[in-house]
């Protein structure tokens, strides 16, 4: 039985009872309990099933390293799978369910795998399931998938919110144990701006459980006093329930704050992701205890010695009446002493060291506990619960000397410093032979932008130091290295530090641990097949040995072949034991074998927190033109174009999109249309060298453009491909306004900046993106001039404002810049007004145009009209492989210039070649519209058996103006083949026949736009 003790429990408040359910069963605990503690208090030792064999699993740890006790937590939009019971604080109404079993935790059909485990060693699936060929996908894999996976699938949309928080600190200390507290204090006292974060709700870490005295008082008092001192310091920020999740380049790091996991009813975001720039990071992350590898070490009731102690001391919970302790170090004796002090029984301590322990062992013996030196566990009895252990000599092969009945085995294989955050960004480790652990190599800290190390380790996380007489990982050393790290961090950042006096400490002397990688050391195959390394993924000692035997010798191969350390705990308990097992199998030293890579996050963090506030409407910035609301109110069907929304068309009630587009086109061609063109990029290019600069950027000659005039320009990449087009207006001698495509504004701006900053930094030019400063409206159609004339007395006649000219005009009292340019082939003005008056001005144009049946049109009508005119569209006629010469745009390529971007590239043999696909118009023989993106086939197939092709459709529309389908396309030597009919096979199984025609379908002589 595991149960609640009558007394004790530092962290619980016995006055506050909390009700929750587990697998539908009502249970109660106390405020301050973790779910694991509360479950143990309710005699629920078995908490889950393992991944591969579906073995019964009980809780082994008491913190973030827990591999077994994972639960489905909550319901509906607050449901979350794979929550560790050991870090979940209980609250009233919590619902938890165990995972990975069917139909129930107690009786799981999947446990058949355990029976078959002999046939399912590491990597068995690479050797089987191959026949028949299609069976993997259709038979085996579905079974594997169903049996794998852990938690349930969330069904509902997340009911919680999340936020990001950006912060700068001089020193960030990760871990709020005594080392972290002391490091933060040392750095804080030097004047540094400090953040101290602790993943649990409590300060002090392990020390208050482990005992010892500081300045003659219990550690607990020292913790309280230090926290109080830190809270009083204005330059120190303290956060609990916040984990250091990852350390990245240049002092960037993530803090993962769980604000409401323990209080889901409260308001506000659930998690806050801190994105921090730190001058220095101190990892005071402590150490994690290692399991021992003996047969049956996965039976529920086998726990880490420190965890047993935590449950007894912190939560007043007895994991069982009779606790056998098995260890290779002194620390585990503390567990025996604590268990005994709680009134429970410790039938024996099995100390694998022939010489036994030190002062703590004496204390245990003095309390009447039986200590067996040189002994270990041969085998654990029990299936869903420990029933006893068979004791053997550690030195032997497992001959049983004695059977001891017990319901808990508290094991300790020594400790491993938590080096994850140290390692994330490239910090190196050294092997400490004496303590059998990897620890940070202070000579090889991750380096920042200045080449200096920016991470320091403190306390147990730093490992055992060699610069001292004080051996080991004790309290004094912890405080000493913490002060050193905090002070050094501040000093390196230029803060004045002073010597910090260390408190006096009293603690037990400890005898050195002795590495034990297999128990007993000579265990045979049968025992090794029952000795677990990775509890969640079911990796055993025998699996690692098999991997080594089969040549998967690199630690990465072994990891991947066996899945060791790949479970949700990322090997926090299993990695070192696995490495040692591998090293032994290979006959190599552990440091030669090396570790796998430590990757962020330290423990899993919610996707919700990573995404932050950015979801739904706020997923990405939504850019709205000044007329956006009008479009919305008038039924626009929106089309996302980059981050903009543009009206695709404005369907009337009952009108299809196609009908709306046709109506908009016809109204514009016949009388008057309005287009919101505000999204077009507008870049001001200014300076004495502006003309020279634009001559390099555009294929055209821009420097000769007269102020007051406009020119259509093409821009190519260095590779010669057409990347953007638009009308350039010369405002004055030094100033040009360059229009880009909607999607091109930022890209072209960056492109210009790149050339200016990296190549032509001595040219006197600057570029400003004024896209959003203006509302731009195209007034289009035969009646366009008449409408404008209603709004001004100024002369805007064809003579005063001819095609491809611009003029500042006051229209209805608004300062406007009127460009007479056309993308539709009609008489057309694009009018730029300050964004702030855009909406009002749009309204005025609608009013003034009413008598002409003014019709706002969307992007699709725009596309149709430009296609009718044979105007190209970047992204349709171009795709990154097309050069201006392919599009019949040679006229826009200046022959007079020495150079422009892309010129040299276009001289290459494949480009400067008449044998290319070139722009033509296409008309189906039957008047229908060609399918989007269809290819024209040629005779035969190529060397790879693919059908030969000779062209493709680049844009295709139904033209309401002409009453038939029209298309543009690129065809091999197309312009020389007018009238030829090509075959375009469609994905619908039909073949479309289309004739090659001139790409200008409408008003070939430009009479309409030039009036």
Partner 1 sequence: MRGIGPMRRYSAFAVAREAARYHSGWERAWRSPEPKKRYDVIIVGAGGHGLATAYYLGKNFGITNVAILEKGWLGGGNTGRNTTIIRSNYLQDPSAAIYEKARSLYETMSQDLNYNVMFSPRGVLMLAQTEHEVRGYKRTAHANLLQGVETEFVSPQRVKELVPIISLDGPRYPVLGGLWQARGGTGRHDAVAWGYARACSDMGMDILQKCEVTGIRQEGGKVVGVDTTKGTIGCDKLGIVVAGHSGVLAAMAGFRLPIESVALQALVSEPIKPCMDIVVMANTVHGYMSQSDKGEMVIGGGADGYNNYTQRGSFHHIEETVRALVETFPMISRLKMLRQWGGIVDMTGDRSPILSKTPVEGMFINCGWGTGGFKAIPGSGWGMAELMAKGSSPLTEEFGLNRFAEGRFVDESVAAGVAH
Which residues from 423-482 bind partner 1, rule CB under 8 A?
425-426
Element (H, E) at 410: strand 408-412
Q: Given the rule CB under 8 A, which of 74-82, 190-198, 224-232, 682-690 is the region that contacts partner 1?
A: 74-82
Does residue 958 belong to the site contacting partner 1 (CB under 8 A)? no
Among 26, 155, 498, 706, binds partner 1 (CB under 8 A): 155
Among 25, 26, 118, 706, binds partner 1 (CB under 8 A): 118
Question: Using CA atoms, how far apart are residues 863 and 624, in angstroms rounded to an integer?
Answer: 21
CB within 8 Å of 392: residues ≥ 6 apart: 375, 376, 377, 378, 398, 399, 400, 401, 520
Q: How far is the CB of 600 from partner 1 (least distance, A)?
A: 6
Among 550, 655, 734, 980, binds partner 1 (CB under 8 A): 550
- Judged by CB under 8 A, the chain residues 487 through 546 that form the site for partner 1 are 525-526, 529, 542, 546
Among 33, 65, 80, 298, binds partner 1 (CB under 8 A): 80
CB within 8 Å of 238: residues ≥ 6 apart: 176, 184, 196, 227, 230, 231
Cβ closest to partner 1, residue 425 vs residue 994: 425
Does residue 943 belong to the site contacting partner 1 (CB under 8 A)? yes
Does residue 111 belong to the site contacting partner 1 (CB under 8 A)? no
Q: How far is the CB of 77 from partner 1 (least distance, A)?
A: 8
Tell me the two tokens of residue 310. Answer: 């935590």
Torsion of CA 221, 224, 226, 227, to 10 degrees: 170
Q: Given the rule CB under 8 A, which of 80-88, 352-360, 504-512, 884-892 is the region that contacts partner 1?
A: 80-88
Among 19, 402, 556, 753, binds partner 1 (CB under 8 A): 556
Q: Which residues of 380-398 are buried (b: 16+ CB within 10 A; e: fewer)?
A: bbbebbbebbbbbbbebeb
Q: How far is the CB of 683 from partner 1 (least distance, A)?
A: 16
The number of beta carbons lying within 10 Å of the beta carbon of residue 505 is 21
Cβ closest to partner 1, residue 95 vs residue 345: 95
Q: How far is the CB of 928 from partner 1 (least distance, A)?
A: 16
Inter-CA distances, 487 with 203, 343, 523, 579, 646, Å: 21, 44, 48, 35, 57
Cβ closest to partner 1, residue 762 vs residue 988: 988
Q: How far is the CB of 640 from partner 1 (least distance, A)?
A: 6
Inter-CA distances, 508 with 194, 215, 362, Å: 32, 15, 11
SS3 56: strand
171 half-sphere exposure, CB direction, 13 A CA radius: 37
Q: How far is the CB of 119 from partner 1 (least distance, A)?
A: 5
Orientation of helix 359-366 relative to helix 331-341, angle to 10°: 20
The number of beta carbons lying within 10 Å of the beta carbon of residue 404 is 18
Orientation of helix 219-231 relative to helix 178-189, angle to 10°: 30
Does residue 146 belong to the site contacting partner 1 (CB under 8 A)? yes
Q: For residue 441, what is the DSSP state?
A: -
Q: Given the rule CB under 8 A, which of 30-38, 78-86, 690-698, 836-844 is the region that contacts partner 1?
A: 78-86
Q: Are 737 and 686 in contact (CB under 8 A)?
A: no
Question: Using CA atoms, how far apart are residues 805 and 813, in angstroms rounded to an integer?
Answer: 21
Does residue 26 belong to the site contacting partner 1 (CB under 8 A)? no
Q: Name the nearest CA neighbour of 818 among 845, 779, 852, 790.
A: 779
Q: Given the rule CB under 8 A, which of 181-189, 637-645, 827-835, 965-973 is the region that contacts partner 1?
A: 637-645
SS3 645: strand
The number of beta carbons lying within 10 Å of the beta carbon of residue 873 is 17
Among 514, 876, 980, 1003, binds partner 1 (CB under 8 A): 876
Does residue 79 belong to the site contacting partner 1 (CB under 8 A)? yes
Cβ closest to partner 1, residue 88 vs residue 318: 88
Q: Name the nearest CA neighbour of 66 among 54, 57, 75.
A: 57
Which residues, listed in sequence order, are joined to residue 171 by a DSSP beta bridge? 194, 280
- Judged by CB under 8 A, the chain residues 189 through 248 that form the site for partner 1 are 246, 248
Does residue 133 belong to the site contacting partner 1 (CB under 8 A)? yes
Question: Using CA atoms, how far apart are residues 318 and 301, in angstroms rounded to an integer?
Answer: 11
Question: Using CA atoms, how far apart are residues 320 and 4, in angstroms rounded to an integer?
Answer: 10
State the SS3 of 709-753: EEEEEEEECCCCCEEEEEEEEEEECCEEEEEECCCCHHHHHHHHH
Does residue 719 belong to the site contacting partner 1 (CB under 8 A)? yes
**Phi, psi for residue 597 in degrees, rounded to 5:** -80, 135
- Judged by CB under 8 A, the chain residues 327 through 386 that form the site for partner 1 are none
Cβ closest to partner 1, residue 460 vs residue 677: 677
Cβ closest to partner 1, residue 79 vs residue 829: 79
CB within 8 Å of 923: residues ≥ 6 apart: 964, 965, 966, 967, 994, 995, 997
Cβ closest to partner 1, residue 2 vs residue 885: 885
Does residue 568 belong to the site contacting partner 1 (CB under 8 A)? yes
Q: How far is the CB of 232 from partner 1 (least distance, A)?
A: 33
Question: Using CA atoms, how far apart are residues 546 and 118, in angstroms rounded to an integer?
Answer: 13
Does residue 53 belong to the site contacting partner 1 (CB under 8 A)? no
- Judged by CB under 8 A, the chain residues 648 through 707 that form the site for partner 1 are 648
Among 914, 939, 944, 1005, binds partner 1 (CB under 8 A): 944
Inter-CA distances, 766 with 97, 241, 704, 757, 761, Å: 63, 49, 19, 10, 10
The number of beta carbons lying within 10 Å of the beta carbon of residue 589 is 11
Among 93, 802, 933, 975, binds partner 1 (CB under 8 A): 933
| Residue 653 burial (10 A CB sphere; 0-12, 13-18, 19+) | exposed
Q: How far is the CB of 449 from partner 1 (least distance, A)?
A: 13
- Judged by CB under 8 A, the chain residues 722 through 781 that form the site for partner 1 are 741-744, 747
Does residue 165 belong to the site contacting partner 1 (CB under 8 A)? no
Cβ closest to partner 1, residue 51 vs residue 415: 51
Among 551, 654, 914, 979, binds partner 1 (CB under 8 A): 551
Cβ closest to partner 1, residue 26 vs residue 138: 138
Q: How far is the CB of 137 from partner 1 (least distance, A)?
A: 5
Among 1, 112, 139, 148, binds partner 1 (CB under 8 A): 148
Among 557, 657, 786, 995, binds partner 1 (CB under 8 A): 557
- Judged by CB under 8 A, the chain residues 592 through 611 that form the site for partner 1 are 597, 599-601, 604-608, 610-611
Among 107, 131, 166, 891, binds partner 1 (CB under 8 A): 131
Q: Which residues of 555-569 are buried (b: 16+ CB within 10 A; e: fewer)?
A: beebbbbbbbbbbbb
Among 561, 712, 806, 871, binds partner 1 (CB under 8 A): 561
Cβ closest to partner 1, residue 144 vs residue 981: 144
Cβ closest to partner 1, residue 153 vs residue 366: 153
Cβ closest to partner 1, residue 41 vs residue 455: 455
- Judged by CB under 8 A, the chain residues 966 through 1005 that form the site for partner 1 are 985-987
Q: How far is the CB of 940 from partner 1 (least distance, A)?
A: 12
Tell me the two tokens of residue 402. Answer: 């004695």
Count residues near partner 1 (CB under 8 A): 127
Q: Are 712 and 740 in contact (CB under 8 A)?
A: no
- Judged by CB under 8 A, the chain residues 897 through 926 that form the site for partner 1 are 905-906, 908-911
Q: Given the rule CB under 8 A, which of 156-164, 348-356, 813-821, 999-1007 is the region that contacts partner 1?
A: 156-164
CB within 8 Å of 608: residues ≥ 6 apart: 158, 160, 162, 270, 271
């Amino acid at each position: 039985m595991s149960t609640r003790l009558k007394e004790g429990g530092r962290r619980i408040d016995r006055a506050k009872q909390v009700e929750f359910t587990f697998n539908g069963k009502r249970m109660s605990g106390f405020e301050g309990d973790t779910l694991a503690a509360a479950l143990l208090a309710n005699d629920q030792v078995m908490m889950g099933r393992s991944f591969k064999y579906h073995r019964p699993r009980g809780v082994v740890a008491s913190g973030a390293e827990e591999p077994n006790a994972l639960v489905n937590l909550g319901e509906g939009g607050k449901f979350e799978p794979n929550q560790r019971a050991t870090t979940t604080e209980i609250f009233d109404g919590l619902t938890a369910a165990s995972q990975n079993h069917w139909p129930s935790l107690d009786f799981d059909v999947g446990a058949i795998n355990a029976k078959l485990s002999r046939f399912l060693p590491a990597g068995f699936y690479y050797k089987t399931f191959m026949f028949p060929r299609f069976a993997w996908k259709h038979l085996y894999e579905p079974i594997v998938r169903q049996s794998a996976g852990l938690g349930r699938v969330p069904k509902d949309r997340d009911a919680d919110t999340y936020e990001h928080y950006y912060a700068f600190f001089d020193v960030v200390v990760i871990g709020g144990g005594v080392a972290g507290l002391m490091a933060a204090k040392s750095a804080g006292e030097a004047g540094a701006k400090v953040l101290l974060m602790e993943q649990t709700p409590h300060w002090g870490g392990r020390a208050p459980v482990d005992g010892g005295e500081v300045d003659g008082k219990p550690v607990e008092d020292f913790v309280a006093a230090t926290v109080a001192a830190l809270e009083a310091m204005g330059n120190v920020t303290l956060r609990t329930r916040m984990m250091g999740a990852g350390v990245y380049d240049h002092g960037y790091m993530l803090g993962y704050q769980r604000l409401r996991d323990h209080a889901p009813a409260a308001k506000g975001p659930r998690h806050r992701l801190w994105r921090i720039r730190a001058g220095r990071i101190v990892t005071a992350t402590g150490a994690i205890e290692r399991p021992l590898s003996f047969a049956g070490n996965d039976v529920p009731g086998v726990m880490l010695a420190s965890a047993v102690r935590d449950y007894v001391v912190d939560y007043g919970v007895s994991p069982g009446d009779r606790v056998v302790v098995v260890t290779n170090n002194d620390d585990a004796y503390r567990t025996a002493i604590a268990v005994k002090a709680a009134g429970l029984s410790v039938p024996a301590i099995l100390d694998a060291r022939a010489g036994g322990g030190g002062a703590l062992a004496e204390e245990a013996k003095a309390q009447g506990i039986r200590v067996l030196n040189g002994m270990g566990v041969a085998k654990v009895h029990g299936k869903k619960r420990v029933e006893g252990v068979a004791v053997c000599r550690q030195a032997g092969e497992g001959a049983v000397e004695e059977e001891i009945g017990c319901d808990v085995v508290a094991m300790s294989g020594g400790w491993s410093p938590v080096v994850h955050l140290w390692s994330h960004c490239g910090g190196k480790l050294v092997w400490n032979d004496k303590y059998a652990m990897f620890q940070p190599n202070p000579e090889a800290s991750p380096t920042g932008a200045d080449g200096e190390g920016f991470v320091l380790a403190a306390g147990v996380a730093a490992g055992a130091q060699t610069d001292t007489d004080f051996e080991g990982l004790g309290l004094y050393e912890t405080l000493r290295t913490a002060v050193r790290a905090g002070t050094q961090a501040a000093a390196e950042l230029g803060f004045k530090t002073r010597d910090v006096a260390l408190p006096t400490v009293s603690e037990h002397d400890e005898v050195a641990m002795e590495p034990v990688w297999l128990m007993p050391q000579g265990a045979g195959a049968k025992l090794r097949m029952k000795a677990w390394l990775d509890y969640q993924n079911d990796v055993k000692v025998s699996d690692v040995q098999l991997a080594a035997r089969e040549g998967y010798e690199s630690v990465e191969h072994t990891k991947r072949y066996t899945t060791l350390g790949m479970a949700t705990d990322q090997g926090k308990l299993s990695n070192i034991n696995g490495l040692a097992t591998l090293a032994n199998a290979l006959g190599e030293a552990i440091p030669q074998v090396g570790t796998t890579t430590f990757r962020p996050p330290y423990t899993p963090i919610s996707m919700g927190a990573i995404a932050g506030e950015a979801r739904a409407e706020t997923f990405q910035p939504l850019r709205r033109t000044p007329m956006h609301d009008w479009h919305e109110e008038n039924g626009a069907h929106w089309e996302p174009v980059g981050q903009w929304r543009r009206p695709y068309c404005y369907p009337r009630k009952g009108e299809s999109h196609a009908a709306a587009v046709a109506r908009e086109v016809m109204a514009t061609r016949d009388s008057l249309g309005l287009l919101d063109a505000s999204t077009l990029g507008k870049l001001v290019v200014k300076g004495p060298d502006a003309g020279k600069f634009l001559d390099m950027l555009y294929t055209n000659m821009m420097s000769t453009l007269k102020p007051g005039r406009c020119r259509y320009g093409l821009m190519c990449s260095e590779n010669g491909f057409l990347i953007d087009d638009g009308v350039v207006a010369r405002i004055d001698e030094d100033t040009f306004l360059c229009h880009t495509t909607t999607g091109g504004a930022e890209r072209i701006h960056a492109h210009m900046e790149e050339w200016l900053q990296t190549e032509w930094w001595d040219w006197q030019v600057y570029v400003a993106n004024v896209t959003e400063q203006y509302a731009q409206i195209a007034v289009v159609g035969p009646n366009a001039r008449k409408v404008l004339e209603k709004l001004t007395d100024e002369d805007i006649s064809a003579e005063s404002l001819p095609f491809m000219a611009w003029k500042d005009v006051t229209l209805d009292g608004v300062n406007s810049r009127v460009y007479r340019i056309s993308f539709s082939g009609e008489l057309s003005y694009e009018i730029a007004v300050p964004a702030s008056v855009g909406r009002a001005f749009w309204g005025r144009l609608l009013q003034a145009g009413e008598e002409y049946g003014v019709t706002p049109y969307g992007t699709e009508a725009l596309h149709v009209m430009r296609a009718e005119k044979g105007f190209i569209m970047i992204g349709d006629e171009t795709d990154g492989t097309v050069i201006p010469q392919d599009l019949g745009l040679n006229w826009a390529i200046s022959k007079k210039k020495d150079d422009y971007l892309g010129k040299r590239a276009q001289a290459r043999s494949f480009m400067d070649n008449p044998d290319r696909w070139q722009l033509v118009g296409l008309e189906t023989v039957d008047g229908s519209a060609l399918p989007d993106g269809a290819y024209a086939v040629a005779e035969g197939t190529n060397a790879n058996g693919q059908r030969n092709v000779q062209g493709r459709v680049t844009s295709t529309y139904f033209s309401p103006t002409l009453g038939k389908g029209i298309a543009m396309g690129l065809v091999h030597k197309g312009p020389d083949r007018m009238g030829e009919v090509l075959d375009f096979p469609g994905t619908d199984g039909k073949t479309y026949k289309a004739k090659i025609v001139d790409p200008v379908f409408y008003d070939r002589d430009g009479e309409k736009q030039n009036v």
